[in-house]
Chain A
């Protein structure tokens, strides 16, 4: 048995116990002097009582010193550990909440054991040694999915023996727990505790009512439990990100300490983290496009970051395509460095393609692998509607555009190109958009089309809403009023902006050129490097149709409010800016540099373009519409209004990237983070309602578990009946496979089962099962950095949070350990203090030390 103090620093005030002695001496010093005649009696009285007086004085002094000493000792919070006395004193009924940190970082292995396994051990020790009969207990696991209550309502311990009753069940349940693959917010854990604590009392009330009904000691039991001690154990690896961000403590942590204190819950943080955890993670894996061509080599960019405190050498990064190792490259990282690798792969079959990158394993395996699901296609069908066809090459609106999308006869280029344009005139449009015909195309391009009928607009809207992509090129033939009326519809139609009129450069030496809003946009990625940027500025424009766009960006220059939701808000990718001929051929300038003066107004019907100080008109605007995407290029696709196709070397990459980007619009989000739901919408008529979902196993190398899910029927405005797959439980990283069965389909003898089928003719062309893959990755931003937060640092940034920090494994070393929690004595000391005060008062009266 050992005696310790929780606030040992306060013991230095113990000498204050000498105050009564000092007061006594001081009083003796400041006595008054009395000349006394009847000294005989006084002397005789003193002589007879001197011994008694001395004893009384000493006794009173001792009691008074003890009073002061007890006050100091009680404030220093003494606690005894071990031995029967500790147990006897700590023998109050307890309400215990055990919270396990189930974040990804708890999978870190140290000394052959994961932090979570150590947390389970610590929890088991609490159950075995701290819980006694009639205590209540609740267990909460906090992970990516938030706080999970292992027991909806607290359980009552019915036996002291860990091998029997609830304790045995608890221990078994604790073994079954698993950490998640996502971040855990300590504040969420505490909030869950705060919400859970009242359930103890609710349970108590029920039990008391039952006991009272049974007729007996219900009230007594209730009274006993009213003073039950509330203990909260948060077993964690003390990962900094669980408690704090770069700025300081998480906002959600504010007020937690106060709430816990208000509920009189004593918080103990049990630290099971490794002393200096190192980690390395694959933080990124991406390609330029998610849709790739069959047999076309594509480039992958993988980023690997070191969270270690020492340089890491000989790390091997491996690329897997459809679970087959393709390439391995070494990488060296300095502490905190993020390295980038370029990897190349190729898909040999159309359909979903699994790509993953793995870094040679360290002690936290979950973030060593990153998955990417791509879709390989043999071709992307593009419907090009030429609004102004011409018999001679070069004069038609889309002559150059088609060449740009499907360049020449060069076999090499052709083979690498996915886009397959089909050109029609606007007169043929009606045929092509009949029934399911339109769905064959990944992108529909309307180039300088005069106008559209209501039916055409309606069908196009349905097409886009279902995931299609529509691209407008404007031009001389465009009927602005009809476009605004039918296609813009006050912001609700397909067109992302209102056409506000023609803009012309005016004089021969004036022109417009493109200016990028941001080169990081996927469409402009080809011009991202400084070397490639001049290409983007090359083309010159004489005319364009000004678009008024409601942009989502708030603040400066925003012309009015943006009522549309963010998902459907228009994004301006590029703008026009006015230039003079003298500027042509100059080195590219920044977005705001070199803007020419207004040349004195444009000629003809058009107005002058943007002048100095006025905002630039959009050149390329895109917007989501339903599940699809719409883009509009404000000038012509042909040479009518610009020299973009003829002169600009940027025309081919620009158009090709733009169409490829739009083609991906309708595809589902295939690459997710742990916890993000899988969502997929399909036409109801084509598939049965049952799908087979294969969930990756806990061990990423093992086979997954198959579960059946039902599709949910949904109906949308103007659309055909659809079914939706919604699977929110993506708690494990890996690749999820969803297998849809077609209505009445029977695999023929020659039909190859499985997902690797050519769907190059469009999403509805299949007759067999359809397989979709979804890649789910861990959130490396928070969980891979295993930096610990020091308890003292935590106390600094969250001073409200009162907690005791206990290092796991310290329990055998006496005080502060888990196995044998110290029994606090301050309450007993206060009782003793009260008793001593009564004794002092009584003695003082009895000894005649108090004036009457």
Chain B
């Protein structure tokens, strides 16, 4: 396991030292699933991720001073208030008033198909990890985050807020989440496009098992509303590789019927179908300038955070 995580650390983690590598182990979903509390998960993921970065993402994007906060490793030294240090003998960072406060909407699919897990981590759990980690990061960046859970329709909506206590609310909801009924992502995207009035960043986390055309139409709707969109396409590794060998009866979740199949005989065709589906999505997303991020439930979570930060950076530059 240690080897695997070391490898996952990649070139970015090479210079971070032993402790950084150890922390990055906590980005692995198999480790995270053993933790009962989602706040711990989010914290571990984000702190681990941040430790591996050269620059702290926490300094925010505001320019007017608002308050102090205690220094944490990775903060730029230029923001240390030396006067306060002189008075109190402690390092405090000067925080600035938000100039353009970002609103991020986490839209998490909780349909029945999300409960599939070939190993220890289901797609829903993995989605929750992503959502929790992003919420933690976003709140820590002084941005606002909202949460929407849906299956056929939106089943839970937490309005966006940047208060630190808001994170608890979000995590609480994520902790309670249970796989629901059939998925209706196309309609849901239209629905949320109408609901999210303030322009922001919409982060959709779903296995996207539906009509790709409908999904793309929904996504375009969000884009039409001037939202930036990140689409995390979460699939299980078995769904991606279809590694079954013996005769099996596949019982479809979400009332998709059942099929008795010799997997060896159909694997190739299955993978072709999957690839063409992914390709269609990717192409549609690219056309609508949507960030399409395919996720495998066996992958570490830093990909999700990186994608978010990249998009956030782009938005800042705009």
Contacts and interface: CB of A to CB of B under 8 A. Distances in A.
The range of chain A's interface size is 20 to 34
B244 interface: yes
A41 interface: yes
Contact of B251 (A35, A45, A848): A35
A840 to B, nearest CB: 15
Given A53-B265, A56-B265, A45 B247 contact: no
B236 interface: yes
A32 interface: yes
Q: Which among B112, B246, B266 has the highest number of chain A CB atoms within 10 Å? A: B266
Interface in A12-67: 27-28, 30-46, 48-49, 53, 56-57
A42 to B, nearest CB: 6
B256 A46 contact: no
A811 to B, nearest CB: 54
Contacts of B268: 848
A851 interface: yes
Contacts of B257: 39, 43
B303 interface: no
Contacts of A56: 265
A41 B274 contact: yes
Contact of B116 (A27, A35, A41, A847): A35
A53 B265 CA distance: 7
B113 interface: yes
Contacts of B235: 38
B123 interface: yes
B269 A37 contact: no
A40 B262 contact: no
Contact of B247 (A27, A36, A40, A43): A27
Contacts of B67: none
Contact of B261 (A38, A40, A42, A850): A42
Nearest to A27: B247
Q: Which among A34, A36, A849 has the highest number of chain B CB atoms within 10 Å? A: A36
B264 A48 contact: no
The range of chain B's interface size is 35 or more
A45 B272 contact: yes
B209 interface: yes
Contacts of A36: 116, 250-253, 256
Given A45-B266, A45-B273, A34 B251 contact: yes
Contacts of A39: 250, 252-254, 256-257, 259
Interface string A667-694: 0000000000000000000000000000
B253 to A, nearest CB: 5
Q: Which among B235, B250, B261, B267 has the highest number of chain A CB atoms within 10 Å? A: B250
Contacts of A28: 247, 260
B248 A33 contact: yes
B239 A37 contact: yes
For the complex, would chain B's binding face be called helix, strand, loop or mixed by DSSP majority?
mixed
B245 interface: yes
Contacts of B115: 37
B248 to A, nearest CB: 5
A37 B267 CA distance: 15
B270 interface: yes
A53 B264 CA distance: 11
B207 interface: yes
A53 B266 contact: yes
B85 interface: no
B278 to A, nearest CB: 10
Q: Which among A27, A34, A43, A848 has the highest number of chain B CB atoms within 10 Å? A: A34
A45 B114 CA distance: 21
Contacts of A38: 113, 116, 207, 209, 235, 239, 274
A43 B239 contact: no
B210 to A, nearest CB: 8
B263 to A, nearest CB: 9
Contact of A849 (B248, B256, B261, B262): B262
Nearest to B268: A848
Given A34-B251, A45-B269, A849 B209 contact: no
A27 B259 CA distance: 15
Given A42-B270, A43-B259, A848 B265 contact: yes
Given A41-B270, A45-B272, A31 B259 contact: no
Contact of B259 (A42, A57, A848): A42
B289 interface: no
B172 interface: no
Contacts of A37: 112-116, 123, 207, 209, 236, 239, 252-254
Contacts of A27: 246-247
A547 B264 CA distance: 103
Contacts of A48: 269
Nearest to B250: A36
A27 B269 CA distance: 22
A49 B269 contact: yes
8 contacts: A28-B247, A38-B209, A41-B277, A42-B270, A43-B257, A44-B273, A45-B269, A847-B265
Given A37-B113, A37-B116, A37-B239, 19 more contacts: A30-B247, A31-B247, A36-B116, A36-B250, A36-B256, A37-B112, A37-B114, A37-B253, A38-B239, A39-B252, A39-B257, A43-B259, A45-B269, A46-B266, A46-B269, A48-B269, A49-B266, A53-B265, A53-B266
